Amino acid sequence: MAIASVDSNDSTAGNPRPMATLTIRNLDDAVRDRLRRRAAEHGHSMEEEVRQILRQVVEPAKPAATTEGLGSRIHNHFASLGSLELDLPSRNDSPSAPKLEP
C-alpha cells in the first residue's frame, strides 16, 4: 500500500478550514471489500469509514479514568458492607510438636 499524495483542498462545501486529501494506491481487493462491508454495517460510506478508522488510530491515548490502584478500588467497592473482624490465634514462640501416631 503506497500513499500517492496528501494535498490541502480549498475551503469548500462549508468546511471552515481546508481538509487534506489522501490517495492510497495498490490496496488489496480483499481489504477494500472488508472496508466496504464494514462501512455498510456502520451505515456510512467507505470514505467515512476510513476517516473514522484513521481518527481512532492516530488519536492520542486517553489517560486512565482513575489513578487508584486495584487494591484501593476493591476496598472502596466493598467499603459499604462494613468491616469484618476476625480473632487471630495466639502466637507462641515455639511451634507445637507434631503428633505422630504409631
What is the predicted pLDDT for the residue at 15?
58
What is the predicted pLDDT for the residue at 6?
45
Q: Is 31 left (phi over 0), alpha (psi -120 to 50) or beta?
A: alpha
Instruction: Give percent of the chain above pLDDT 70.
Output: 83
Whether pLDDT at 5 is above 70:
no
Whether pLDDT at 83 is above 90:
no
The residue type at 72: S
Overall average pLDDT of the 21-38 stretch: 94
52 SS3 class: helix
What is the predicted pLDDT for the residue at 93?
75
The tens digit of pLDDT for each residue in 36-75 reads: 999 999 999 999 999 999 999 998 877 767 778 899 989 8
What is the predicted pLDDT for the residue at 14?
59
Of 2 and 21, the structure prediction assigns the larger pLDDT to 21
Give the C-alpha separation, 25 to 1, whole Å.
6
What is the predicted pLDDT for the residue at 97?
84
